[in-house]
Structure 1
């Protein structure tokens, strides 16, 4: 086992599959099956989910950015509540924690409680981003990863790694097996938000970007298999 405490960042768009909006239950079930397998194998597993299958604040047009980002935070709460419910199917408990109160539906984040939940074999979903506008869920994942002492951030995306250009528009794009935070910042590559890269660099928290649709990809990456791209800190 290369890692023991992992934080998985899932994009909302990836969970929607071909639908673009809402949820693809087959994809979600596949993700949860992998996460619960890791829990049963002794990993500490936490999750951050984006809100892009419902709302992306940065693409909200002329709306006030603060309001748009607040809507995005609530979208991530809906996603976490929905996806966390799937853990019951595999007899693993889960908890949704947010940086702000959401009635009785979530718990307000507390670092020590979160770590206790993880050590007791629960999957912890961190929703609501950082709780502040102008910060993405990528940054929220990096922040939570640092706070709970994660060994690695696993970014499960709709692309199989980090490229020097967009492979969807450039057939000659080159994929990196490994790349440093400094190179990402210098080349402005943005496989994840740059504020996330800076925070991980400063706190020595490695990132691995890989394809969510790769068979057992989360399990393979958590166990140290060389798929995707490792962002070295």
Structure 2
């Protein structure tokens, strides 16, 4: 299973890199002009077998901070250029580098923050049995508007039903949704609490382990 998926990912990533080379270069130049350096946003996420890795994205927000030096909320830092980049999913292009490195796949559960790790149930943690993806089943079912419980259920459903045909179907639907700008929210935190905050508020969870540092 993992052999064909890895081969497919590498071949598809090479083709996409060649096809998208011009948009990638133009996006990089736009970010450099409008947001400055660095061009790429990096963040530690949890991947295959719960191992941390650095995810790459084009920057869409400034580094504006308050008087105490803390970053301002996302909705106060995202720019018009950043919103446009997100709506077209251009910010995801650098994750092709993650695919080449073996951190990610084209299709799989989206990689989430390290601090969420203690809050998954045993069933939800099955999402880490495959490489995280640039797109996935949860993304074609609603992208940023799927609640956490439904998102994790879809992630586990994907893990339990992996196949080449399912991957191709998800990629095709993703392309259609991106072209239609369907289900995209500029700042997700406006309508959804962070997963750890939501689970703490609901209570009743049993921490599985300490989050990876």
TM over 0.5: no
Normalising by structure 2, we get a TM-score of 0.29
Larger Rg: 2
> Relative to total residues, which structure has the larger helix share, 1 or 2?
2
